[in-house]
Amino acid sequence: MSKNKLKTLKNKEVIKIITHNGFKLKSASSAPHFVFYHPNYNGTHRAIQISKNPSKVCPDGTLRQIVRNSGKPKEEFC
Residues β-bridged to residue 49: 35
| C-alpha span between 72 and 52 (Å, rounded) | 22
| C-alpha span between 75 and 11 (Å, rounded) | 17
pLDDT tens digits for range 14-68: 999 999 988 888 866 777 888 888 887 665 667 788 888 889 999 999 899 888 8
| pTM value > 0.75 | yes
pLDDT at 44: 61
Residue range 11-70, CATH number: 3.30.920.30
Alpha-helical regions (H) of the chain: 11-20, 60-70
The domain ranges of the chain are 11-70
